[in-house]
Amino acid sequence: MDAGSRWDAICVGAGITSLAFGAQVVKRHPGARILVIDKHGVPGGYATVFRRPKAGAAFDCSLHKLSGMGEGGNLRRIFANLGLDGELGLKVPADYFEACLPGGSIRFGNGVDAFRQALQDRFPHERAGLDRFFDEVAVHGRNGYHQFQMMDGTFEPDFAQLRYAHKHLKHVTLAQALAERINDPWLREILAATGIYVGGFAEDLGYLYFLHVVYATLTQGNAYVEGASQRLSDVLARRIVAAGGQVLLGTAVRKIIGDDAGKVRGVTTAKGDFYADRVYLNAAPHYALRTLFDDQPALGPVWRKLDNLKPSRSTTTVYLTTDAAPADLGLSSTETMVFACGADASRAARAGCASDEACERAYWRDSVMEVTNYHALDPDGGRIVCLNVLDAMAHWPERRSPAYKLKKARALNVLLERLYAAKPGLRGHVVYTEVSTPRTYERFTNNTDGAGYGAMVGTDLSGHVFHHAFPIAGVHFLSAWVAGPSYEAAFGYAEMKAKQWAA
């Protein structure tokens, strides 16, 4: 590909939102030429795998449970429109997750009715609060789920419901809402556990947003892509290339090129300049403004808006393999949530992070740990299990320092011991481990504070409009920082931007 070439649009970063956007544009507008540029060697961003041949493993970089994959789900509809449903194999798990509590475990079936019934059976004294919660999921979660359709006029909500939500729910955190509805701290911790899907604890997330997450995942169905998330990224990239576009990998973008009239003209890379009148940034906005744009007064209002854009939590992840099928060792569910304490105690531990030791206890020991049994989803991919906890970069030393290496070893030990306590049959059968930290995610993604999910969706959304009326015409933002932290949000936002292509 020649430097100096002209394109209809350039996407900076080959994350899943860029790929979904490019594939939908070329589907809607045959002949549109999209150039996607990324510094990494494979497309997909978080939707990729990394391989360890000696361990016989291909690890998924992040959780890739897809919401909205049931009948009527938005992501299923978009997949069908792109013809992906015939090209991708999907695995629908039988269970939502297994909750491992100190006193035993609860396995939840996959679906809102099964989840609700299991909770009512286990916590009959909380039936009124559970009824209220699930009724709010059905009404306000549904409205939030169709946010992009509201914007383009294809979904008309009940405006009385929207007014109620704006007045009573919009400014309430998940922790506050659950405390008002549910007395049992263990039940509150279970209900809030799937906040790990979107990068927040109960005290971080807005309640109204969380209702949408539950609706998307349980009411609208969930599934996994066979062959891991890399399979999805590769299929989308091929669609862009087949339409005359290009995915240029191993190439970092250095600067956005603008003109004196305040319009974008292209990008500068190590391989030369490429030109387009539309540039879509799939990157953390803080990083993009700091490194890709020259310092200019016009960006001042954008920076002030970004002051209110809070990053999501990061994660610490243990990737491991076993010498036998995990199910034969007691890990039979596709997903397991390991709980250490109830909601009040876990939140108090996080509020008391005044030292490195306190942070390690709060994030690694006292908060929920999510376990994905990838072997149950794709046996051909290896005997792979991943452990995830939400974390914060502030207590992690710089990479490659002696203190950093010691801290990684402590994290590995703590998370493995939690796994063994919940599933004793795994002890002695783990044969390979690897740890990723918030510093790892910062290095590979340039995300602010190593955020694993883009922006936090809390109760203050003022920072989320940082890109509105952006002062350089033709510059657009993609990624989880504007779309929201999930695959379905990425595809939904990409669909909305693709519909605006001809505008």
- H, E, C per residue of 296-333: CHHHHHHHHHHCCCCECCEEEEEEEEECCCHHHHCCCC
Q: What is the pLDDT of residue 60?
A: 84
Low-confidence ranges of the chain (pLDDT < 50): none
**How is residue 476 written in tokens?**
């657009």
Cβ(193)–Cβ(368) below 8 Å: yes
Q: What is the pLDDT of residue 148?
A: 82
Average pLDDT, the chain: 94
Q: What is the pLDDT of residue 381?
A: 83
Q: Which domains are delineated in the chain? A: 9-69+77-84+226-309+448-499 (3.50.50.60), 111-220 (1.10.405)
Q: Over the stretch 152-161, which tens digit does the pLDDT of each residue have?
A: 888 888 999 9
Q: What is the pLDDT of residue 153?
A: 83
For 46, the 3-state DSSP assignment is coil
Q: What is the pLDDT of residue 226?
A: 85
Distances (CA, A) of 68 to 73, 184, 220: 4, 30, 5
Q: Over the stretch 341-394, which tens digit does the pLDDT of each residue have?
A: 999 999 999 999 999 999 999 999 999 999 999 999 888 889 999 999 999 999
Q: What is the pLDDT of residue 85?
A: 84
The residue to which tokens 């305040």 are assigned: 262
Cβ(288)–Cβ(281) below 8 Å: yes
Instruction: Strands of 238-313 (E only): list them.
Output: 246-248, 253-258, 264-269, 272-275, 279-281
Query: The whole model's pTM is what?
Result: 0.95
Q: What is the pLDDT of residue 63?
A: 64
